[in-house]
Each structure stands twice: as structure tokens, then as C-alpha cells.
Amino acid sequence: MPKVAVVGVGNSRFGRRDDAILQEIAFEAVREALQDADLSQKEIDLSVVGTVGSRSYEALPAGPINDYCGFSDKGPIRVEAACATGSAALFTAHNSIACGAADTAIVIGAEKMTEVDIPTTTAVGGRGGSYLWEFHMLGTSFAAYYALYATRHMSKFGTTPEDLARVSVKGHKYAAMNPKACFQKEIKMEDALNSKVIASPLKLYDCCPVSDGAAAVVLASEDKVRKAGLKDPVWIDAIGYGADTSNLTRRSDYVGLNASVNAAKMAYDTAKVGPEKVDVATVHDCFTIAEIMAYEDLGFCPKGKGKDILRDGETEIGGRIPVNLDGGLKAKGHPLGATGVSMVYELTKQLRGESGKRQARLRNNIALAHNVGGHGFSAYVTILRGP
């Protein structure tokens, strides 16, 4: 497979963005990514826009986003894969370059979720699995899907409410050091444990916030990197993908996600590295239990031991495998289409040694991004190698 590099990254501020419309938020990220790559719009061959759009007044937002960002004649290809939309957009752009259809591409992930109120967004999220099977029988919300996983994981492996709170405290700690994050304040264990119940056993601080935000990455072929002398390329060594049924009642178990396991296996095999080589990771912690399951599904520890590596501080800066040093979905925010792209933004900065107080120690120059679609019906695992 021909090599493809990340040559520029940008990220808007995440959070509630009453100050800007969707297109303006997207441009915040695009401008930064183009400046970072030292390329102009006209040097980009293809634009791929990742946006779910289910909470937007724009019915088909990719066109307006693309126009506003200066790529009217470069696409757009709109990609949607629920919460893994950003990674699916990256996959599309990557493959376009790898097969020779483009030399350069921009991936724009953008979402404005606060245009509708919380009851509406909860109702939309509760139809995010297999509506005909689940909604009428379970009356579920998105948090309720992950509450089922949390309940089973706790009963089978002894994971506790305190373990869930640890994920949240860690996320808020790093988000407080990240100027792009939604929640820039630390919290204590008691804050998390005493917060209101959303879908038992998940509480407010176990949930990612409803968020607005955008991220963008510029990709280039190896040939382009060389000819244009593009600086500090971060190489995409692999993008693994996996899938599972969207009908939760048909899953084989409720303590992990098969889609993640399969995506990780494909990514590790393609990149010819194992989890022990990963220096820093971003994982899909839409709810705190999801981060603990991700440790296990990605092979950072055996099944059921996610709580142990968390308790031992192995996923903190200085630990064996630091995870979500940007604050994660939990505290940086989760604007659906932006999330997978924002993970690549964070890891590119980490691999270039540009993360300041949040910098992980690099031994192998390898980073991993894990992005889940919906309640686990798809997943992408991307392995990046530093310059």
C-alpha cells in the first residue's frame, strides 16, 4: 500500500458554540490545518467532509461546509458512520490518495449538536441503534445503551462506580490543560460519584457532553511530501476497521465490542506492531465504561483487567500507555463528526512532541486512535508513526 502522511492538523474549540455557525466552526479547524501544512486550498485535490448532521438545521451540511471552507470545486464527499464518522472520512481520504486518485486531501469533521435541546438530542440518540427492535421495547437513550455494558462489566469483573469515576477525573484533569477542550476544570472523585444519575449506573460525569466542534487534517502522498518538502510528516501505518450487528439484542456479550477487537487486529497486523509498542492512545470514551472496555478490546490489558491498569495509573502520563491526554470525549467533548479527526489532531501533535504539559514520552514513535460508531456497530483503529 503506498504511504500516506498527515501533513497538517487543525482543531476548533469544542463545547457549546453559540458564537458561531457550523460552517464557521469548520473553518476554524480548516484554516489552522492549512496553515500547519503550509498549503492553500488550491493545492488540495479532494475534500471529504465527515458530519452526522442529525441535529443540524442544514439537512445536508457537507455542501455548505465545503463551500464556506473554500473547497466548492473539490468535492465534497460526505461520509457518515455515526460517532466514527471522522475516522470513516479519514479512511476515505486516505484510500483516495493510496489508490492514486488524489495527491492531497483534506478531511473535515464538523458537528453542531446544540442546535436542538437535550430531550430532542436524547430522543435522536435513543434511535441510534436498531430503532424497530430497540426503541419500542427498551425506550432507550444513548446513555442507556452503555449503561447495559457497564452493568454487565461490573457484575462479571468487579468494576466499580469508583473505577468509572476515575476515568472521568482523569479526563477532566487533562482537559483542564487543553485550551480546545469543552470542560476546562478538574473534578474530584466525589463530584463524579455524587453527580445525578443519567442511566443507572452511569451518572452525569460518566457521560460525554453534547458538543459543537470541528477538526481537520491534511493528507498527502509520499511523493507529494518529498516533492513539496512538507515538514514533519506523520505516517498513517494502518487503518483497521470492524463491524457488528446494530441490533444490541444480537450481540455475543456485553463486556466489550467485537467491532473494536476486529479493527484493532486488522490495524496491528497491517502496521506489524502490537499494543505493547503504542506510546500514546486516544480511545472512544463516550461514556466512562467505554474507556475501560477499550483498554481490554485494544489489548492494552487482558479482558476484565481494564479497571486494574486504571487504578495503577498505567493510562496516565508517565504510565505504561497514556490514554486520552486531550481530555477524551468525556471532557474535551464529542461533536460526532469531528471526534475521529480530532483524535488524529491530538496524536499528530503528540508524535511531533508539541503537546507541552500533556506530552507523552515517546519510545517507539507509535500512536493509536480508536473511534467507535454508535453503540459498537462499527469501529476504526488508526496507527500513526511519528516523523
Nearer to ligand COA, 39 or 208 (CB): 208
Amino acid at 63: G
Q: Given the residues 83, 182, 286, 301, select the one marked as catalytic.
A: 83
Is the previous residue joined to 64 through a cis bond, with omega within 30 degrees of 0? no
Find the shortest distance in angstroms from Cβ 202 to ligand COA. Answer: 8
Nearer to ligand COA, 145 or 157 (CB): 145
Contact 298, 264 (CB under 8 A): yes
Of positions 18, 19, 118, 229, contacts ligand COA by CB under 6 A: 118
Using CB under 6 A as the criterion, what x/- string covers residues 37-76 for binding ligand COA?
Answer: ----------------------------------------
Instruction: Give the list of residues 6+ apart from residue 354 with CB closer than 8 angstroms, or none.
Output: none
284 is catalytic: no
Find the shortest distance in angstroms from Cβ 297 to ligand COA. Answer: 16
First to last CA, the chain: 19
Instruction: Determine if 81 is a binding residue for ligand COA (CB under 6 A).
Output: no
- How many chain residues are in contact with ligand COA, going by CB under 6 A? 15
Nearer to ligand COA, 75 or 256 (CB): 256
Question: DSSP string spanning 2-62?
Answer: --EEEEEEEEPPPB--TTS-HHHHHHHHHHHHHHHHT--GGG--EEEEE---TT-SSSSTH
Contact 362, 277 (CB under 8 A): no
Find the shortest distance in angstroms from Cβ 294 to ligand COA. Answer: 13
Q: For the chain, what is the total number of helices (H) and then of strands (E)?
A: 14, 11
Between residue 240 and residue 279, which ones bind ligand COA under the rule CB under 6 A? none
Of positions 94, 224, 334, 349, contacts ligand COA by CB under 6 A: 334
Instruction: Determine if 198 is a binding residue for ligand COA (CB under 6 A).
Output: yes
Instruction: Determine if 137 is a binding residue for ligand COA (CB under 6 A).
Output: no
Q: Given the residues 94, 172, 284, 334, select the one marked as catalytic.
A: 334
Instruction: Determine if 209 is a binding residue for ligand COA (CB under 6 A).
Output: yes
H helix intervals, the chain: 22-37, 62-68, 85-98, 118-125, 131-138, 142-157, 161-175, 189-193, 222-228, 258-271, 288-297, 306-311, 328-332, 336-351
Q: Which stretch binds ligand COA (CB under 6 A): 197-205, 212-220, 223-231, 254-262?
A: 197-205
Find the shortest distance in angstroms from Cβ 121 to ligand COA. Answer: 6
Residue 80 grid coordinates:
457518515
Nearer to ligand COA, 122 or 348 (CB): 122
Bridge partners of 107, per DSSP, are 48, 217
Instruction: Determine if 15 is a binding residue for ligand COA (CB under 6 A).
Output: no
69 is catalytic: no
Between residue 143 and residue 162, which ones bind ligand COA under the rule CB under 6 A? 143
Contact 344, 237 (CB under 8 A): no
Report the alpha-carbon distance of residue 369 to residue 384 in Å, rounded: 8
Instruction: Determine if 83 is a binding residue for ligand COA (CB under 6 A).
Output: yes
Contact 268, 276 (CB under 8 A): no
Nearer to ligand COA, 125 or 386 (CB): 125
List C-alpha distances in Å: 255 to 156, 159, 167, 250, 286.
8, 11, 17, 14, 15
Instruction: Determine if 176 is a binding residue for ligand COA (CB under 6 A).
Output: no
User: Which sequence positions are flagged as catalytic?
Assistant: 83, 334
Kindly list the residues in this chain that would bind ligand COA in the complex (CB under 6 A): 83, 118, 122, 125, 142-143, 198, 204-205, 207-210, 286, 334
